[in-house]
């Protein structure tokens, strides 16, 4: 008797669970990839096209794939990037996600860039499905504090001579030694080495 009660309790729980769930079906060209944070597992031979969802609004990630003939014994596969839509289902019943298939290959490529889907309710009414502009927000990353500015670095030279600020030669009669010292201070280490190589006797 106790086992029968447990069996009836499990049966009622199962039936009540089915009563508050809705079936959402997708056509062959639309593949559901994710519902909220829950990814849908597909195999190569078995693609999931029917989902059981609780009543309410769900964010579903979908991908569109279609095959178009472009000539004799030739075809082209049209695919969209995965995109998010918002689907609202009631407590029970079967819902169908659909779209208006493009007549031409050019129109199909345009559809893949901006897919437009509709939802067919159990009573037969069709309503457009709202497309989401972005993916689900997982967790906001706190803004990083600005890095402190590094102190200015003074230029360093490879030679051991002390570096002093160059003094421009005085106006009047040019002094060769002062001019040479001035331009030596302005020169880079590579220029100094090239100059020394020129002036050294061979």
Which is nearest to 123 in space by CA: 163, 82, 92? 92
DSSP element (H, E) containing 201: none
| pLDDT at residue 137 is higher than 80 | no
Between CA 49 and CA 47 the distance in angstroms is 6
Q: Please report the sign of the dihedral spanned by the C-alpha atoms of residue 107, residue 110, residue 116, residue 120.
A: positive
Partners of 63 in the beta sheet?
31
Strand ordering across the sheet containing 118-120: 50-54, 21-25, 93-98, 118-120, 126-128
More confident residue, 19 or 141: 19
Classified as helix, coil or strand, 53 is strand
How much is the pLDDT for 70?
82
Between CA 51 and CA 31 the distance in angstroms is 11
Instruction: Rank 18-27, 58-67, 158-167 by mean pLDDT and report only the highest.
Output: 58-67
Q: What residue spans define the domains of the chain?
A: 21-131, 163-202
CA distances for 30 relative to 82, 142, 182, angstroms: 10, 36, 76
Whether pTM exceeds 0.85:
no
For the chain, how many residues are written?
A: 202
């Amino acid at each position: 008797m106790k086992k029968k009660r447990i069996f009836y309790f499990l049966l009622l729980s199962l039936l009540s669970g089915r009563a508050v769930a809705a079936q959402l079906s997708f056509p062959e060209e639309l593949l559901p990839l994710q519902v909220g944070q829950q990814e849908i597992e597909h195999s190569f031979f078995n693609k999931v096209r029917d989902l059981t969802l609780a009543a309410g609004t769900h964010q579903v990630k979908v991908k569109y794939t279609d095959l178009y003939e472009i000539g004799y014994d030739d075809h082209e596969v049209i695919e969209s990037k995965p995109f998010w839509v918002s689907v609202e289902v009631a407590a029970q019943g079967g819902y169908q996600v659909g779209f208006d298939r493009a007549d031409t290959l050019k129109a199909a490529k345009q559809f893949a860039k901006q897919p437009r889907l509709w939802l067919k309710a159990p009573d037969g009414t069709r309503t457009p499905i709202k497309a989401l502009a972005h993916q689900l927000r997982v967790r906001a990353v706190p803004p990083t504090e600005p890095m402190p500015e590094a102190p200015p670095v003074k230029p360093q030279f490879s030679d051991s001579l002390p570096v002093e600020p160059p003094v421009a030669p005085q106006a009047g009669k040019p002094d060769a030694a002062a001019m040479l010292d001035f331009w030596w201070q302005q020169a880079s280490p590579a220029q100094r080495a090239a100059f020394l190589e020129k002036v050294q006797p061979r």
